[in-house]
Amino acid sequence: MRLLTSVVAMLCIGATLILPSLSAHGEEFPSRGIKIISPHPPGVATDVLGRALAQNLAESLGVPVIVEDRPGANGIIAAGTVAKADPDGYTILITSGSHIANAFTTKNLPFDVLKDFAPVTQLAASYGLALITNLPVKNVQELVALAKSKPGQLTYATNGVGNITHIAGLLFDARNGTKMTPVPYNTPNLTNDVVAGTVDMTFFSAAGATPLVRAGKIKALAITGPRRDPDLPDVPTLQEQGYPDFDVTGYFGLLVPANTSRDRVNKIAQESATAMKSPDLQKFLAGSGMYFVDSGPEQFAAFLKRDYDYQDKLMAELGLKVQ
């Protein structure tokens, strides 16, 4: 499953890159500050990646690039802000797979997740989420046995209905015939509560889980993606543990309002690709449970359509209905 928690394009080499991007009125783009809207609070992957990207873009574009966090409603507040913004390229949404999921979990969504946005680029993808817990279990099999012995009693923290952390838990239940209780959070503090034992477990970004695992504060039982995270090399994937079709991975990308001019979309995509290839951002990705995805606007648009179709089927399978 490719959910994603997305953004980049091939770096074009040639004279066209040294030409300024101009509007119909001859305005050079960008000529003023750019705002990247993040749907989650500080410390969450979209915010952290967005700030690293913003710093590089500011240096290359020569204008201020800031990140503004608009958390809440599983990303709907942030996405709505961008959907209503002027389609001039100065307001960008950094987003993840929950953006598409909202189409299937939220009633009266104030925008169309595909039609009201222009895809720019997929920045990165994750190796998957880490299943972390402080329960007295050593592996997934023991966790499943414990969950079956206590139906409805084990809890797992999520970042909201339809969020990848929630979907991972629902899929885990569906594959095991267990019933755990999701506990929604609107802050990154859900890991603190897992460490403290307030909730039993969570499916969290491998990047965020790695320091806790290395410090011995928590156990990682599995990775939800199809390949191991290099920073947690001893933690097997769920596929390795008998779940061949379990694939919950995150992606991170950039969207702008629909009707943003193609030259500005391409400019943002090209500059983002250059930034993502920089040594500091490559180092950041390597230590964050993510890897670079080289994707232009057309490729990202096709990816989002495939993700939409997949999530449509998945939500039906999991019985997750519009609320």
pLDDT score recorded for residue 17: 39
Strand 34-38: give its sheet, edge to edge: 65-69, 34-38, 91-95, 251-257, 117-126, 290-292
pLDDT score recorded for residue 9: 32
Cα gap 199→50, rounded to integer Å: 29
Concatenated DSSP letters of 78-137: HHHHHHTS-SSSSEEEEE-THHHHHHHH-TT-SS-TTTTEEEEEEEEEES-EEEEE-SS-
Can the peptide bond before residue 30 be classed as cis, meaning omega within 30 degrees of 0? yes
pLDDT score recorded for residue 97: 82
Helix ranges restricted to H, the chain = 45-61, 76-83, 98-105, 140-149, 164-176, 190-196, 206-214, 262-276, 279-286, 297-318
Do the beta carbons of residue 159 and residue 310 sit within 8 Å?
Answer: no
Q: Residue 195 CB: number of other CB atoms within 10 A?
A: 16
Residue ranges of the chain with per-residue pLDDT less than 70: 1-26, 187-189, 322-323
Do the beta carbons of residue 131 and residue 107 sit within 8 Å?
Answer: no
* Chain Cα centroid distance, residue 194: 21
Tokens of 259: 């009707």
Do the beta carbons of residue 203 and residue 156 sit within 8 Å?
Answer: yes
pLDDT score recorded for residue 318: 87
Q: Residue 243 CB: number of other CB atoms within 10 A?
A: 17
pLDDT score recorded for residue 7: 32
Do the beta carbons of residue 306 and residue 138 sit within 8 Å?
Answer: no
pLDDT score recorded for residue 118: 98
pLDDT score recorded for residue 283: 86
Give the domains, in start order, of the chain with CATH numbers: 15-126+250-318 (3.40.190.150), 129-223 (3.40.190.10)
Cα gap 320→161, rounded to integer Å: 9
The pLDDT tens digits for 203-248 are: 998 878 888 999 999 999 999 998 899 889 999 999 999 999 898 9
pLDDT score recorded for residue 26: 56
Strand partners, 155: 181
